[in-house]
Structure 1
Amino acid sequence: MKDLGEARKILGIEIVRDQNEKKLYLSQEKYVEKVLRCFGMDKAKAVSIPLASHFKLSHQPCPSTNEEKYEEHSIFIGRW
């Protein structure tokens, strides 16, 4: 066996250690960025929740066929 040093990533989760504070942080930031890019939302403006009253939700970008719905759902649950 070969020692590869400290783990930096496991199952897509980044591991960050703060040895001074003796804390371990887990981050899925890269995964979230990948999902946002996949759905074309990486340039979207961030908003606080709850949504502002002027923000209008629409069904237009939603999938319309069962096939489209299945594909989008599969992506959300980690098929890729």
Structure 2
Amino acid sequence: MEIKFFYDFMEQKLIILDERGRRKVLTQPREIDRFLNTYQISREACKGIVEAEDRLNLFGKQRLREKMKTYFATKRRKESK
């Protein structure tokens, strides 16, 4: 899956967009550094929009996490009855 990302120097955030228009914002310095190290790019090089392959599968993990949350929420409701 292709993603686009750029670093916002004013707000100190890394903004990531996927093909479908979903958006993820990284604000923690550790998360930002991990992401940029994966792509071997510096913050200064992210002034403009960078297009790359989604190596970390950021948007795929999110769907799995949401499914697990709903599964456990329904399981808890059934147990409490």
Q: Verify same fold: TM over 0.5.
A: no
Higher strand share: 2
Taking structure 2 as the reference length, the TM-score comes to 0.26
Higher helix share: 2
Taking structure 1 as the reference length, the TM-score comes to 0.26
Bigger RCO (CA 8 Å, 6+ sep): 2
Q: Is the radius of gyration larger for structure 1 or structure 2?
A: 1
